[in-house]
Amino acid sequence: MAALQTDSTTAADGTPPDLAQRFDDTIARDQRIEPRDWMPDGYRKTLIRQVAQHAHSEIIGMQPEGEWITRAPSLRRKAILFAKVQDEAGHGLYLYSAAETLGADRTDLTERLLEGRQKYSSIFNYPTLSFADVGVIGWFVDGAAICNQVPLCRSSYGPYARAMVRICKEESFHQRQGYELLMTMMRGTDAQREMVQDAVNRWWWPSLMMFGPPDDSSPNSAQSMAWKIKRHSNDELRQRFVDMTVPQAEKLGVTLPDPELRWNEERGRHDFGTPDWDELMRVIKGDGPCNTERIERRRAAHEEGAWVREAAVAHAAKQAAEKQNGAVA
């Protein structure tokens, strides 16, 4: 594969060419780059940004579903949702951990999120209006995340790929639990069925937008694909998600709100309508229904928790000092 790396490989920056060559060869052979390997600066920076934004998405993603834990209408659903949201915290932690192997600092990454310098998935800027939304998020959003994440299990950067394997295994049941809730509701009362269809109507298009803008509007993708940080294009993944989800919707008995959605025999794929890319841009830029709320909640937790974190540090320092004094005496 023709190398697209630009800034890194020659003696111009003093780097021995064989290190750069080793990097290129490793990528070309579909092997893993590990934390101590030499890597182009752009690769490191792009990865930190991608992994961090993925981590931020998991943490922010706790909010729309988390607010339904206290109100879950059965103890079984309560336990399932409580565990799911806990998993999302765990996933964020695994990803921050991967980002830190690249020299990032979690506190710094959190500040970047709060200042809007790093982003999180646009999907979490939409409100959850009913308990059916919990099921639909599991079905659509976790489904889309799986489409996006399974290829990342083969991402070129070792710690990221390994985190993704762990996350995907845990996330596979998140999607199932969401779908199972919807199946139960669709077999239930009229009010439950309407709740499900209403949630589907609101979450379908934002879920398609999760895969990002169309390929012809994605300028940064080419380098990421060359470095094997990104394994498939936005449109490819979006198509895969649609093809996967249509039969599931049929089984469930819900209508996906796209009059242009139909099977195309020639392509062997579904044709579907165009998402409102203006809406995606507005939401990414901060003008979605819940952007402010999501960031403010994260900020509040971070700021209100500061005295607790500081106390733990102070206590640890006291313990360490005591230990030392004990040793000296």
Partner 1 sequence: MSDDHVYLSLAEGHEDGDARWAFGTGFEDPLYGVSTAVPEGVDPAELAACCLALGDDALVTAQRLAEWTTRAPELEEEVALANIGLDLLGQARLLYARCGQVDGTERGEDAYAYFRDADDFRSVRLAELPNGDFAFSMARLLVLSAWRLAHFERLAASADPVLAAVAAKGVKELTYHRQYAAEWVVRLGDGTAESRRRMQAGLDQVMPYVSELFAAYDAGETVLAVLRQVTEAATLSLPAVPEAAAGSGREGEHTEHLAALLADLQSVARAHPEATW
Partner 2 sequence: MSDTQAKKGGWPLYEVFVRGKRGLNHVHVGSLHAADDRMALTHARDLYTRRNEGVSIWVVRSENIAASTRDEKDPFFDPSADKVYRHPTFYDIPDDVPHI
Query: Which residues contact partner 1 (rule: CB under 8 A)?
Result: 59, 62-63, 66, 69-79, 82-83, 85-86, 89-90, 92-93, 96, 131, 146-147, 150-151, 153-154, 165-166, 168-169, 172, 181, 184-185, 187-189, 191-192, 232, 236, 240, 244, 297-298, 300-301, 304-312, 314-315, 318
**x/- letters, 118..157, toward partner 2 (CB under 8 A):** ----------------------------------------
Tell the smallest beta-carbon distance from residue 263 to partner 2 (Å): 14
Which residues are bridge partners to 263 per DSSP? 270
Q: What gap in Å lies between CA 121 and CA 84, rounded to an integer? A: 18
Which three-class secondary structure state does DSSP give residue 33? strand
| Contacted by 28, from partner 2, partner 1, none: CB < 5 to 8 Å by type | none
State the amino acid at position 56 in one-letter form: H
The burial class, CB within 10 Å (0-12 / 13-18 / 19+), for 249 is middle
CA dihedral 242→244→195→86, nearest 10 degrees, is -110
Q: What gap in Å lies between CA 120 and CA 53, rounded to an integer? A: 5
104 near partner 2 (CB under 8 A): no
Residue 185, number of CB atoms within 10 A of its CB:
21
Sign of the C-alpha dihedral computed for residues 303, 304, 307 and 310 taken in this order: negative
Sign of the C-alpha dihedral computed for residues 57, 59, 64 and 68 taken in this order: positive
94 near partner 2 (CB under 8 A): yes
Tell the smallest beta-carbon distance from residue 144 to partner 2 (Å): 12
Nearer to partner 1, 6 or 189 (CB): 189
The C-alpha angle 192, 193, 197, rounded to 5 degrees, equals 120
Q: What gap in Å lies between CA 294 and CA 81, rounded to an integer? A: 19
269 near partner 2 (CB under 8 A): no
Which three-class secondary structure state does DSSP give residue 278? helix
Nearer to partner 1, 20 or 54 (CB): 54
Look up tokens 């630009």; give the residue: 6
How many chain residues interact with partner 2 (CB under 8 A)?
A: 39
| Contacted by 101, from partner 1, partner 2, none: CB < 5 to 8 Å by type | partner 2
Tell the smallest beta-carbon distance from residue 124 to partner 2 (Å): 22
Binding test (CB under 8 A) with partner 2, winner from 18, 37, 315, 324 = 315
173 near partner 2 (CB under 8 A): yes
The C-alpha angle 288, 293, 295, rounded to 5 degrees, equals 95
Q: What gap in Å lies between CA 41 and CA 18, rounded to an integer? A: 16
Binding test (CB under 8 A) with partner 2, winner from 153, 183, 261, 281 = 183
Nearer to partner 2, 86 or 220 (CB): 86
Judged by the rule CB under 8 A, the positions of this chain that interact with partner 2 are: 79-80, 83, 86-87, 90, 93-94, 97-98, 100-101, 105-108, 159, 163, 170, 172-173, 175-177, 179-180, 183, 244, 247-248, 251, 306, 309-310, 312-313, 315-316, 319
